[in-house]
């Protein structure tokens, strides 16, 4: 069975994001590890530039769980704040600087195994969730994770309808779990990379 890393970017313990994560976990097989962008010990990048020499972050905190590459699936679960991911999620993303340095400065990209990517996204209904797309795509690209465009649970009208009562979003969470329970195919990886190149 696969191992799933869930990166929960909501500050609320029992909010809309958590409702969909909980629904997905009911059907998810194998081991699941959940990291909270707000409660785990993950510091933001301070641009110390130590990774410019080794492509390794010298900060010893919970980010090492993400760096470990010891999982088969990764879920990004997040609300939308001010048109993008919450600040703590962006702090966490800043710690992908070693991957960026390795690829673009040292010209020796860090090789990570391909993974399945799933997205859980909630928003209040103002239509600005599309602005979060850039950060979502970059995070999955840094983790070599694929497929979230077609495998996601979204509840985009939470000001009126809570996610726990959003039938379509709950169904999407169940479908996401069932997809994650299956091994990833090379065709899925190739299709995702092809779509990314088209978007670029």
As a whole number, mean pLDDT of residues 59-84 equals: 96
Residue 194: which pLDDT band, with cuts at 50, 70 and 90?
low
Higher-pLDDT residue of 187, 164: 164
Amino acid 129: pLDDT: 86
Q: How far apart are CA 169 and CA 86, in angstroms?
A: 20
CB of 6 closer than 8 Å to CB of 35: yes
Amino acid 198: pLDDT: 43
Vertex 157: Cα angle to 155 and 158 (nearest 5): 80
As a whole number, mean pLDDT of residues 146-168 equals: 96
Instruction: Count up the domains in the chain and report the number.
Output: 1
As a whole number, mean pLDDT of residues 159-165 equals: 97
Beta partners for residue 75, in sequence order: 6, 118
As a whole number, mean pLDDT of residues 57-61 equals: 96
Express each pLDDT in 28-42 by its tens digit. 999 999 999 999 999
Residue 193: which pLDDT band, with cuts at 50, 70 and 90?
low
The domain of 57 spans 3-199
What percent of the chain stands above pLDDT 70?
94
Is 48's pLDDT higher than 50? yes
Residue whose pair of structure tokens reads 């990314």 in the numeric block: 196
CATH of the domain at 79: 3.40.50.360
Is 177's pLDDT higher than 80? yes
- For every residue of 86-148, DSSP letters joined together read -HHHHHHHHTTHHHHHHHHTSS-------EEEEEEEE--SSS-GGGGHHHHHHHHHHTTEE-T
- Which tokens go with 153? 């649970």
CB of 120 closer than 8 Å to CB of 177: no
Amino acid 200: pLDDT: 39
């Amino acid at each position: 069975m696969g191992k799933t890393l869930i990166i929960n970017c909501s500050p609320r313990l029992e909010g809309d994001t958590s409702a969909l994560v909980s629904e997905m976990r009911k059907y998810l097989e194998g081991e699941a590890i959940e990291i909270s962008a707000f409660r785990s010990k993950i510091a933001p990048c301070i641009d110390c530039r130590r990774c410019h020499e080794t492509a390794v972050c010298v900060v010893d905190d919970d980010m090492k769980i993400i760096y470990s590459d010891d999982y088969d699936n990764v879920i990004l679960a997040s609300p939308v704040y001010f048109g993008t991911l919450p600040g703590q999620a962006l702090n966490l993303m800043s710690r992908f600087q070693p991957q960026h340095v390795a690829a673009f400065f040292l010209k020796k990209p860090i090789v990570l195994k391909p993974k399945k990517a799933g997205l859980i996204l909630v928003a209040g209904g103002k239509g600005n969730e599309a602005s979060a797309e850039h950060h979502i795509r970059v995070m999955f690209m840094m983790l070599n994770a694929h497929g979230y465009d077609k495998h996601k649970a979204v509840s985009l009208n939470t000001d009126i309808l809570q996610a726990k009562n959003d039938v379509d979003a709950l169904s999407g969470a169940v479908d996401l779990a069932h997809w994650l329970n299956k091994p990833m195919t090379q065709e899925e990886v190739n299709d995702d990379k092809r779509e990314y190149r088209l978007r670029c």
